Structure 1
C-alpha cells in the first residue's frame, strides 16, 4: 500500500482541499514513474486511479479545457473508464453527469480529437469543439465544491487511498 505521512496530510489540509488531494496524487505519480502505462496501471488500486483521474481532469480542464485534456493523452483514462460512475458513487452526481455529457462529444469525435496536431491545429480545436465550452464553464464554476466533495470522500475513506504513517 502506498504510504503518506500524517504530517504531510495535516499540512496540506491547512492549505486547502486541492492541496490535500495533491498529496495523494503526487505520491501516485511517483509510484507509477510519472506515466500511465500498461506496466504502471496495476500499481494503483481502482480508488487511487479515480483520485488521480480527478486530479488530472481538474488540472487539465482548468488550464486548457477538454481539448487539452484529450490532446495530452488523458481522454481514454477519463472517458473509457468508470470515472464518471465512481464520481457519482462518491457523491458528486452533477459532476458525474457533466463527465458523461463530455464523453458523448468525445465518443462521437474521438479519432479527430486524439490525432496528432500542430500548435496552430491545436488552437483551432477550440473553435471546432465549442460544444465543450458550456461544460468547461460549468466545471470551472463548480470546481471548488466538487474538489471539496472529492477531498471529503477521501478523508472519510483514507484506508482506500493510502496507508497513513
Structure 2
C-alpha cells in the first residue's frame, strides 16, 4: 500500500544517504515534486502529500530561496503562503527545532503585516528596493545562514527516525 503515492526504493535512499544529508533529503524532495508534477501547487494537488511531506517540501523551498535571495525572494517567488499559511513552523518545532520555529513565527509577523506589499508584482528595481525596505528580515537571514547546516542535519535525522511519515520504502534488488 502506498503512503499518499510516495514510494522510494531502498537502494535510492541508501545511495542518497551515502552522499550525505542533503542528498538523503533530496531523494524525498524529488519524489514529492514528481507527485506534485513539478513545482506548481494548487488546491487539487495539495492532498497528494501528507503534513510531514509538506513540511519537508516547505523546508526545501524555504532553504533554497532564503539561501539564494533571502526572505524577500522567498515571498516574491510565491512561497509566502506555502510557508506561512501552513503549519510549517509547528512541524519544525515538533522535529525539535524550537529556535528555528521561533524564527519562522517572527518572520511570519513581518510577512503578515506587509503581505500585500511583499507579494505585489514589481519591477526588478522595485524588487531590489524591497531589500532595503524590509531590513527587518536581515538578522533572520543571517541567523538561518549560520545555522542552516545544523538545521538541515537535524531534519535529516528526524526524517530517518520517522521514515514512514515521509514515504513508503520499497525493497528492491539493491541496484
- Fold conserved (TM > 0.5)? yes
Query: CA offsets per residue over residues 15-55 of structure 1, 9 Å max, x none?
Result: 22121111101110110111111111011101100110011
Query: CA offsets per residue over residues 108-156 of structure 1, 9 Å max, x none?
Result: 1000000001111111111111110100000000000000111111000
Is 2:31 the partner of 1:27?
A: yes
Residue 87 of structure 2, aligned match among 82, 92, 97 = 82
Q: Which residue of 2 aligns with 1:117?
A: 122
Could you tell me which runs of 5 or more consecutive residues in structure 1 were left unpaired when the two chains were aligned: none
Larger radius of gyration: 2
| TM superposition outliers: structure 1 runs of 4+ over 3 Å | none
Could you tell me how far apart the structure 2 residues matched to 1:65 and 1:20 are? 24
Is 2:16 the partner of 1:7?
A: no
TM-score after normalising by structure 2: 0.92
Q: Which residue of 1 aligns with 2:45?
A: 40
Residue 99 of structure 1, aligned match among 104, 111, 122 = 104
Partner of 1:40, secondary structure, is helix
Could you tell me which runs of 5 or more consecutive residues in structure 2 were left unpaired when the two chains were aligned: 171-175
Could you tell me how far apart the structure 2 residues matched to 1:158 and 1:132 are? 33
TM-score after normalising by structure 1: 0.98
Partner of 2:43, secondary structure, is coil
Could you tell me how far apart the structure 1 residues matched to 2:15 and 2:125 are? 42
Partner of 2:86, secondary structure, is coil
Note the aligned Cα RMSD (angstroms). 0.8
* Residue 14 of structure 1, CA deviation: 1.7
Could you tell me how far apart the structure 1 residues matched to 2:30 and 2:124 are? 28
Residue 60 of structure 1, aligned match among 43, 59, 65 = 65
